Chain A
Amino acid sequence: MLKTKKGFLLRRLGNEAMVVAIGEASKSFNGMIRLNDTGAFYWKELEKGSSEDDLTAKTLERYDGVDEAAARQDVRAFLASVAVALDELPDA
């Protein structure tokens, strides 16, 4: 299972969503990661704990007319872009 690390916060600045690192987290990552609406949606799922499969399924639910391969590719690209902010936890 993938989960967002402590100290990485999703916030809005103006009309842009971004993830900012505070406290200990800011020592490994100094700055912010900008997210589009889909990215912010994925992030909220990851705050609860999710996986590539979960996110791909959610994408297919959310957007009509997207095929699974394309959805999975999007999810993978997203996960790579926020990898620094994610923990991989053993599945319960």
Chain B
Amino acid sequence: MFTIRLAGVVGGVDNRYPYVRRLCRDYIVEGQAPAFTVRATEEDITRQLAEVGGSARPYGENLCIYRAICRKMPLYGAFLMHAAVVEVDGEAYVFTAPSGTGKSTHVRLWLQHFGPRARVLNGDKPLLRFEGDTLYACGTPWQGKENLGCNEMRPVRGVCFLEQAAENRIRRLSASEAGRLIFRQVLIPPEEDAFDCFWSMLDKMLATVDFYLLQCNCEPAASRLSYLTMRRKKNAEDQEGLPAAPSGQ
């Protein structure tokens, strides 16, 4: 049994195998009362392993544990998104797509391009949460095959859906288009109370966050295009933030 803090929420993990505790080591907190506690039964683990086609029970347990955590999280203001998140100059850029599309590859282009200005916040399964009207991406111990990530939270500058293509192209998505695509990339809580909390966050996210569709190859130009496009919006906002000219009264 141990306690971790994810996306600002303290949760207990009643584990059977040591693997999940080791995985969570950067997130363990002491002396704080957990908002909830999760555990996986041997049957849960067997079912999970059948689903992913594995046999290592400690690994199966860790997947069950995170799923159980993510089903609770909406009640405490956070939810899971299947995505790779890269941080540049303190802001989070979220890339999402079905597994195998090239999220990690695209993020690697960003790391190469920006060097020390960039790092991976989470390579696979970050949590998202609102603080006021700002959406934050939060690191978690579940960060993908390459195990890239850190225990930090950063404001989200934009969310980009990825598709493979021969030529690089990017465009803004309407909230309705983004809503259609985001469904497959989030975990829908099975309980109605958690679902309603999740749904209101999703609705707020679609109304307040900028979404893009990036069709891209693996050339460095792809990362320039995605960065400049997601960034340009910010530059325009900064301009708007200048004091307005006197109205001539």
Is A76 part of the contact surface with B, judged by Cβ < 8 Å? Answer: no
Q: Evaluate contact between B189 and A22: CB separation under 8 angstroms.
A: yes
Query: How distant is the Cα of A9 from the Cα of B189 in the complex, in angstroms?
Result: 13
Q: How many residues of B contact A (CB 8 A)?
A: 15
Taking A20-B188, A22-B189 as contacts, is the C-beta distance between A14 and B206 under 8 angstroms? yes
A26 lies within 8 A of B190 (CB)? yes
B82-90, B102-110, B191-199: which lies at the A interface?
A: B191-199
> Binding site of A, secondary structure by majority: helix, strand, loop or mixed?
strand
CB-CB contacts of B191-220 with A at 8 A, as 1s and 0s?
Answer: 110010001001100110000000000000
- B-side contacts of A23, CB under 8 Å: 190-191
| Distance between B182 CB and nearest chain A CB, rounded to angstroms | 9
Instruction: Tell me, in angstroms, the Cα distance from A24 to B191 when the chains sit together.
Output: 10
Q: Chain B nearest CB: distance from A60 CB in Å?
A: 31
Q: Among A9, A24, A32, point to the contact of B195 (Cβ < 8 A).
A: A9
Least distance between B70 CB and chain A CB atoms (Å): 14
Given the complex of chains A and B, what is the CA–CA distance between A21 and B175 in angstroms?
21
Task: Please measure, in the bound complex, the distance between the C-alpha atom of A21 and the C-alpha atom of B191, giving whole angstroms.
Answer: 11
11 contacts between A and B (CB under 8 A): A9-B195, A12-B203, A13-B202, A14-B176, A14-B207, A16-B179, A20-B195, A21-B188, A22-B195, A26-B188, A31-B183
Q: A13-B202, A14-B176, A20-B195 are in contact. List 16 more A-B contacts (CB 8 A).
A: A9-B195, A11-B199, A12-B203, A13-B199, A14-B179, A16-B176, A20-B188, A20-B199, A21-B188, A22-B188, A22-B189, A22-B191, A23-B190, A23-B191, A26-B190, A32-B183
